[in-house]
Amino acid sequence: MAARRLVAGNWKMFKTADAAVAFVDAFLPLLPMIPENIDIVLCPPFTALDAVARRLRGHDRVALGAQNMHWESSGAFTGEIAPPMLTDLGVRYVILGHSERRQYFGETDEAVCKKTIAALTHGLTPIVAVGETLAERDAGLAHERVVSQTRAALHGLAPDALAHVVLAYEPVWAIGTGRNCEALDADAIMQAIRTSMHGLTNVPILYGGSVKPENVPLYVAQPNIDGALVGGASLDPEGFANLLRAACEGRCDAV
């Protein structure tokens, strides 16, 4: 039995609704060339969620994800998006705690925890991102920082709830820079994440940070890396399909 992989494409603040639909229309015909053991998630901007959801109907191989959400189910929070608004559109996954949210919008560990709990409450699978800055890494604090973020994001969750969480290790210094963490180094940090709390043994952990078709096999070959959270390399349909095929290399023949 082939080992399963989860690969999520985070489109960030790219693509209008029309551009997103054009991507999906070009991408869906490529699915037969992508191994069945790859679980695929597309995370467009909020403004394109509905259009993409409509195009994905009847295509169960591709799940819809959002890039963020509020922890409240409704209320006077101008500009925010509530969990029920996402599920109403057919969203199944939501990225939480991305470093860009933390860096540019002041998102705290406490907020990520609230959002994680809310996502699970509303039947969404949270993809909880953690990662160290270059300064933290140079100071030898990478393991300490990501373990702290993991424990804070999942605080109060029972092991059975943790089974419905996905984690993503994204070294901040590697996001969008063209630099990537060495596979063995990433695996060591992700092992620290996996062993940081009871209940994370079988939780999928993704690597993110300048992931490309050329390097993704090196990551998924590692014992603690179960897939990838992909940024820029997910914006082109053919390029993303090539990356998904490459993600089958490594441990894909493992039982």
Which of the residues are catalytic?
Answer: 98, 170
**For residue 50, which amino acid is it?**
D
For 84, 127, 181, 187, 238, the CA distances from 168, given in Å and listed in that order, are 23, 6, 14, 12, 24
- State the CB neighbour count (10 A cutoff) for residue 253: 10
CB 125 within 8 A of CB 93: yes
Positions of E strands within 21-133: 38-43, 62-66, 93-96, 125-130
Specify the pairing of strand 62-66 against strand 38-43. parallel
Among residues 244, 197, 236, which one has the least CA distance to residue 220?
244
Buried b (16+ CB within 10 A) or exposed e, 214-247: ebbbbbbebebbbbbbbbbbbbebeebbbbbbbb
- State the CB neighbour count (10 A cutoff) for residue 121: 12
CB 90 within 8 A of CB 64: yes
Using alpha carbons only, what angle is made at residue 157 by residues 205 and 124, rounded to the nearest 5 degrees? Answer: 60
What DSSP state is assigned to residue 246? H
What DSSP state is assigned to residue 74? S
